[in-house]
Structure 1
Amino acid sequence: MQIQSYLFFNGRCEEAINFYRKALGAEVEMMMRNSDSPEPMPQLPPGMENKIMHASLRIGESTVMMTDGECKDDVKQSAFQGFSLSLDLPDAAAAHRQFDALAEGGQVVMPLEKTFWSPCFGMLKDRFGVSWMVGVHDMEAKG
Protein backbone atom coordinates (compact mmCIF):
# COMPACT_ATOMS: atom_id res chain seq x y z
CA MET A 1 0.00 0.00 0.00
CA GLN A 2 1.13 3.54 -0.68
CA ILE A 3 -0.24 6.95 0.34
CA GLN A 4 0.41 9.88 -1.98
CA SER A 5 -0.41 13.57 -1.70
CA TYR A 6 -2.96 15.10 -4.07
CA LEU A 7 -3.00 18.90 -4.01
CA PHE A 8 -5.72 21.21 -5.37
CA PHE A 9 -4.53 24.63 -6.59
CA ASN A 10 -7.80 26.35 -7.60
CA GLY A 11 -6.55 27.52 -11.00
CA ARG A 12 -2.85 27.95 -10.11
CA CYS A 13 -1.67 24.40 -10.80
CA GLU A 14 0.51 25.21 -13.81
CA GLU A 15 2.14 28.02 -11.83
CA ALA A 16 2.75 25.57 -8.96
CA ILE A 17 4.24 22.98 -11.32
CA ASN A 18 6.69 25.53 -12.70
CA PHE A 19 7.57 26.69 -9.18
CA TYR A 20 8.26 23.16 -7.90
CA ARG A 21 10.29 22.35 -11.01
CA LYS A 22 12.52 25.33 -10.27
CA ALA A 23 12.58 25.12 -6.47
CA LEU A 24 12.85 21.34 -6.05
CA GLY A 25 13.93 19.99 -9.43
CA ALA A 26 10.54 18.27 -9.76
CA GLU A 27 9.99 16.30 -12.94
CA VAL A 28 6.60 16.21 -14.62
CA GLU A 29 5.70 12.54 -15.05
CA MET A 30 2.24 13.22 -16.45
CA MET A 31 0.11 16.27 -17.13
CA MET A 32 -3.37 16.36 -18.65
CA ARG A 33 -5.38 19.47 -19.33
CA ASN A 34 -9.19 19.43 -19.26
CA SER A 35 -9.18 19.76 -23.06
CA ASP A 36 -7.16 16.51 -23.30
CA SER A 37 -9.89 14.44 -21.67
CA PRO A 38 -10.89 11.44 -23.80
CA GLU A 39 -14.47 11.92 -22.62
CA PRO A 40 -16.55 15.10 -23.02
CA MET A 41 -16.82 17.25 -19.91
CA PRO A 42 -20.23 18.98 -20.23
CA GLN A 43 -20.07 20.54 -16.75
CA LEU A 44 -16.80 22.34 -17.54
CA PRO A 45 -17.22 26.12 -17.12
CA PRO A 46 -16.00 28.36 -19.96
CA GLY A 47 -12.31 29.21 -19.73
CA MET A 48 -11.41 25.95 -17.97
CA GLU A 49 -10.27 24.08 -21.10
CA ASN A 50 -6.55 24.70 -20.54
CA LYS A 51 -6.57 24.20 -16.77
CA ILE A 52 -4.82 21.12 -15.36
CA MET A 53 -7.13 18.15 -14.85
CA HIS A 54 -4.34 16.01 -13.41
CA ALA A 55 -0.58 16.21 -13.05
CA SER A 56 1.93 13.92 -11.43
CA LEU A 57 5.32 15.26 -10.29
CA ARG A 58 8.34 13.27 -9.24
CA ILE A 59 10.21 14.99 -6.42
CA GLY A 60 13.21 12.90 -5.44
CA GLU A 61 11.82 9.44 -4.78
CA SER A 62 8.25 10.64 -4.17
CA THR A 63 5.25 11.39 -6.32
CA VAL A 64 3.00 14.38 -5.68
CA MET A 65 -0.21 14.62 -7.68
CA MET A 66 -2.05 17.88 -8.32
CA THR A 67 -4.90 19.56 -10.15
CA ASP A 68 -6.48 22.94 -10.70
CA GLY A 69 -9.65 21.46 -9.23
CA GLU A 70 -12.96 23.23 -9.65
CA CYS A 71 -11.49 26.78 -9.75
CA LYS A 72 -14.23 28.38 -7.69
CA ASP A 73 -14.41 32.17 -7.91
CA ASP A 74 -14.95 32.55 -4.17
CA VAL A 75 -11.63 30.83 -3.37
CA LYS A 76 -8.76 33.27 -3.89
CA GLN A 77 -6.03 31.08 -2.39
CA SER A 78 -5.93 27.36 -1.75
CA ALA A 79 -6.55 26.73 1.94
CA PHE A 80 -4.10 23.98 2.78
CA GLN A 81 -4.55 23.19 6.48
CA GLY A 82 -3.93 20.32 8.82
CA PHE A 83 -0.88 18.79 7.12
CA SER A 84 2.65 19.48 5.90
CA LEU A 85 4.74 17.92 3.21
CA SER A 86 8.02 16.77 4.73
CA LEU A 87 11.23 17.10 2.73
CA ASP A 88 14.10 14.97 4.08
CA LEU A 89 17.54 16.00 2.81
CA PRO A 90 21.03 14.51 3.20
CA ASP A 91 22.78 17.54 4.76
CA ALA A 92 22.33 21.12 5.95
CA ALA A 93 23.58 22.69 2.71
CA ALA A 94 20.90 20.85 0.70
CA ALA A 95 18.29 21.71 3.34
CA HIS A 96 19.17 25.42 3.12
CA ARG A 97 19.00 25.39 -0.70
CA GLN A 98 15.59 23.73 -0.81
CA PHE A 99 14.21 25.72 2.14
CA ASP A 100 15.23 29.05 0.59
CA ALA A 101 13.80 28.04 -2.80
CA LEU A 102 10.45 27.00 -1.31
CA ALA A 103 10.30 30.10 0.92
CA GLU A 104 10.54 32.47 -2.07
CA GLY A 105 7.24 34.34 -2.06
CA GLY A 106 6.08 32.33 0.95
CA GLN A 107 6.29 32.63 4.72
CA VAL A 108 8.89 31.14 7.07
CA VAL A 109 7.17 29.63 10.10
CA MET A 110 10.33 28.33 11.80
CA PRO A 111 13.77 29.19 10.40
CA LEU A 112 16.19 26.34 9.74
CA GLU A 113 18.01 25.55 12.97
CA LYS A 114 19.47 22.72 15.01
CA THR A 115 16.92 20.83 17.11
CA PHE A 116 17.21 17.85 19.42
CA TRP A 117 16.02 15.59 16.58
CA SER A 118 17.80 17.16 13.62
CA PRO A 119 21.01 19.03 12.84
CA CYS A 120 18.91 21.28 10.59
CA PHE A 121 15.10 21.65 10.58
CA GLY A 122 12.63 24.39 9.62
CA MET A 123 9.04 24.97 8.55
CA LEU A 124 7.43 27.25 5.98
CA LYS A 125 4.38 27.90 3.87
CA ASP A 126 5.17 28.30 0.19
CA ARG A 127 3.58 30.93 -2.07
CA PHE A 128 0.60 28.61 -2.64
CA GLY A 129 -0.07 28.10 1.07
CA VAL A 130 1.33 24.54 1.15
CA SER A 131 3.04 23.80 4.48
CA TRP A 132 6.50 22.24 4.33
CA MET A 133 8.81 20.76 6.95
CA VAL A 134 12.38 20.72 5.67
CA GLY A 135 15.10 18.90 7.52
CA VAL A 136 17.96 16.49 7.84
CA HIS A 137 17.05 13.34 9.76
CA ASP A 138 20.59 12.03 10.15
CA MET A 139 22.02 13.48 13.40
CA GLU A 140 25.51 12.55 12.12
CA ALA A 141 25.12 14.78 9.05
CA LYS A 142 26.78 18.18 9.14
CA GLY A 143 24.39 20.76 10.54
Structure 2
Amino acid sequence: MIKPYLMFNRECDEAFKWYQKAFNGEIIAIQKYGDMPPNPDFPVAESEKNLVLHAELKLTETGYIMGSDYQQELQGADKVCISVELNSEEHAMNAWNVLKDGGTVHNELQPTFFAKLHGSVKDKFGVTWMFTVR
Protein backbone atom coordinates (compact mmCIF):
# COMPACT_ATOMS: atom_id res chain seq x y z
CA MET A 1 0.00 0.00 0.00
CA ILE A 2 1.28 3.48 -0.84
CA LYS A 3 0.30 6.52 1.24
CA PRO A 4 1.52 10.12 1.28
CA TYR A 5 3.57 10.81 4.41
CA LEU A 6 3.66 14.43 5.57
CA MET A 7 6.49 15.79 7.70
CA PHE A 8 5.85 18.73 10.03
CA ASN A 9 7.85 21.29 11.97
CA ARG A 10 6.30 20.61 15.40
CA GLU A 11 2.70 21.08 14.21
CA CYS A 12 1.59 17.58 13.14
CA ASP A 13 -1.03 17.19 15.89
CA GLU A 14 -2.61 20.55 15.03
CA ALA A 15 -2.48 19.84 11.28
CA PHE A 16 -4.07 16.40 11.55
CA LYS A 17 -6.91 17.74 13.70
CA TRP A 18 -7.46 20.43 11.07
CA TYR A 19 -7.44 17.86 8.22
CA GLN A 20 -9.80 15.64 10.23
CA LYS A 21 -12.23 18.56 10.50
CA ALA A 22 -11.87 19.49 6.81
CA PHE A 23 -12.62 15.97 5.56
CA ASN A 24 -14.77 14.76 8.47
CA GLY A 25 -12.07 12.10 8.66
CA GLU A 26 -11.17 9.47 11.21
CA ILE A 27 -7.89 9.55 13.10
CA ILE A 28 -6.68 5.95 12.97
CA ALA A 29 -3.56 6.44 15.09
CA ILE A 30 -1.51 9.08 16.86
CA GLN A 31 1.66 8.03 18.67
CA LYS A 32 3.85 10.54 20.47
CA TYR A 33 7.63 10.43 20.86
CA GLY A 34 7.04 9.94 24.58
CA ASP A 35 5.18 6.68 23.83
CA MET A 36 8.33 5.02 22.44
CA PRO A 37 10.20 2.49 24.54
CA PRO A 38 13.33 4.09 26.04
CA ASN A 39 16.35 3.75 23.76
CA PRO A 40 19.80 5.18 24.64
CA ASP A 41 20.60 5.44 20.90
CA PHE A 42 17.53 7.67 20.38
CA PRO A 43 17.05 9.85 23.46
CA VAL A 44 13.92 12.03 23.52
CA ALA A 45 14.10 15.38 25.29
CA GLU A 46 11.28 16.15 27.72
CA SER A 47 10.24 19.08 25.49
CA GLU A 48 9.76 16.70 22.53
CA LYS A 49 7.80 13.89 24.21
CA ASN A 50 4.44 15.35 23.13
CA LEU A 51 5.49 15.68 19.47
CA VAL A 52 3.92 13.24 16.99
CA LEU A 53 6.03 10.21 16.13
CA HIS A 54 3.37 8.82 13.78
CA ALA A 55 -0.19 9.74 12.83
CA GLU A 56 -2.63 8.23 10.36
CA LEU A 57 -5.85 9.83 9.16
CA LYS A 58 -8.55 8.27 7.01
CA LEU A 59 -9.77 11.08 4.73
CA THR A 60 -12.10 9.13 2.45
CA GLU A 61 -13.24 5.53 2.04
CA THR A 62 -9.90 4.56 0.48
CA GLY A 63 -7.78 7.69 1.03
CA TYR A 64 -5.31 7.97 3.89
CA ILE A 65 -2.49 10.29 4.86
CA MET A 66 0.19 9.71 7.47
CA GLY A 67 2.54 12.13 9.15
CA SER A 68 4.91 13.03 11.96
CA ASP A 69 6.93 15.83 13.49
CA TYR A 70 10.48 15.92 12.17
CA GLN A 71 13.48 16.65 14.34
CA GLN A 72 14.85 19.42 12.14
CA GLU A 73 13.38 22.34 10.20
CA LEU A 74 11.92 21.24 6.86
CA GLN A 75 11.03 23.29 3.80
CA GLY A 76 8.85 22.67 0.73
CA ALA A 77 9.32 19.27 -0.92
CA ASP A 78 11.10 17.87 2.16
CA LYS A 79 7.72 17.95 3.94
CA VAL A 80 6.25 15.14 1.80
CA CYS A 81 7.50 11.61 1.19
CA ILE A 82 6.06 8.40 -0.23
CA SER A 83 5.38 5.69 2.34
CA VAL A 84 5.51 2.15 0.97
CA GLU A 85 4.14 -0.65 3.16
CA LEU A 86 5.20 -4.12 2.04
CA ASN A 87 4.72 -7.67 3.30
CA SER A 88 8.00 -8.97 1.84
CA GLU A 89 11.41 -8.15 3.29
CA GLU A 90 13.00 -9.26 -0.01
CA HIS A 91 10.78 -6.91 -2.04
CA ALA A 92 11.62 -4.04 0.31
CA MET A 93 15.38 -4.74 0.15
CA ASN A 94 15.35 -4.89 -3.66
CA ALA A 95 13.55 -1.54 -3.98
CA TRP A 96 15.67 -0.02 -1.19
CA ASN A 97 18.94 -0.99 -2.88
CA VAL A 98 17.87 0.57 -6.19
CA LEU A 99 16.62 3.81 -4.62
CA LYS A 100 19.62 4.36 -2.35
CA ASP A 101 22.02 4.11 -5.33
CA GLY A 102 23.01 7.74 -5.86
CA GLY A 103 20.68 8.83 -3.07
CA THR A 104 20.95 9.72 0.61
CA VAL A 105 19.90 7.35 3.39
CA HIS A 106 18.03 9.17 6.17
CA ASN A 107 17.34 6.09 8.33
CA GLU A 108 18.81 2.68 7.51
CA LEU A 109 16.33 -0.04 6.58
CA GLN A 110 16.41 -2.11 9.77
CA PRO A 111 14.20 -3.78 12.38
CA THR A 112 12.36 -1.43 14.76
CA PHE A 113 10.00 -1.79 17.70
CA PHE A 114 7.03 -1.26 15.37
CA ALA A 115 8.02 -3.14 12.19
CA LYS A 116 10.15 -5.98 10.83
CA LEU A 117 11.98 -3.35 8.76
CA HIS A 118 11.70 0.43 8.51
CA GLY A 119 13.83 3.09 6.87
CA SER A 120 13.83 6.18 4.68
CA VAL A 121 15.94 7.28 1.75
CA LYS A 122 15.99 10.29 -0.59
CA ASP A 123 16.62 9.04 -4.13
CA LYS A 124 18.90 10.70 -6.67
CA PHE A 125 15.91 12.66 -8.01
CA GLY A 126 15.16 14.25 -4.61
CA VAL A 127 12.11 12.10 -3.75
CA THR A 128 12.02 10.71 -0.21
CA TRP A 129 10.77 7.14 0.21
CA MET A 130 9.82 5.54 3.54
CA PHE A 131 9.69 1.74 3.69
CA THR A 132 7.84 -0.32 6.29
CA VAL A 133 7.64 -4.12 6.34
CA ARG A 134 5.11 -5.43 8.86
Q: TM-score by structure 2 length?
A: 0.50
- Alignment-derived partner of residue 12 in structure 2: 13
What letter corresponds to residue 9 of structure 2 in structure 1? N
Unaligned runs of 5+ in 2: 81-134
Q: Partners of 1:44 and 1:36 in 2: how far apart?
A: 10
Q: Counterparts of 1:35-114 in structure 2 under 5 Å?
A: 35-40=34-39, 42-60=42-60, 61-70=62-71, 72=72, 75=73, 78-81=74-77
What letter corresponds to residue 12 of structure 1 in structure 2? E
Query: Shift of the alpha carbon at 1:27?
Result: 1.0
The answer to which structure has the higher helix fraction is 2
What letter corresponds to residue 68 of structure 2 in structure 1? T
The answer to which structure has the higher strand fraction is 2
Q: Secondary structure at the match of 1:32?
A: strand
Q: TM-score by structure 1 length?
A: 0.48
Q: Partners of 2:10 and 2:55 in 1: how far apart?
A: 13
Query: Shift of the alpha carbon at 1:82?
Result: 8.7
Residues 43 and 19 from structure 1, CA distance in 2 versus in 1: closer, same or farther, beyond 3 angstroms? Answer: same
Q: Partners of 2:39 and 2:59 in 1: how far apart?
A: 31
Unaligned runs of 5+ in 1: 85-143
Q: Partners of 2:64 and 2:28 in 1: how far apart?
A: 9
Deviations 1:71-90, CA, capped at 9 Å, x for gaps: x3xx3xx5233999xxxxxx
Q: Secondary structure at the match of 1:15?
A: helix
Q: Partners of 2:35 and 2:15 in 1: how far apart?
A: 20
Deviations 1:82-129, CA, capped at 9 Å, x for gaps: 999xxxxxxxxxxxxxxxxxxxxxxxxxxxxxxxxxxxxxxxxxxxxx
Q: Secondary structure at the match of 2:76?
A: coil
Residue identity (%): 26
Q: Partners of 2:79 and 2:15 in 1: how far apart?
A: 18
Residues 33 and 82 from structure 1, CA distance in 2 versus in 1: closer, same or farther, beyond 3 angstroms? Answer: closer
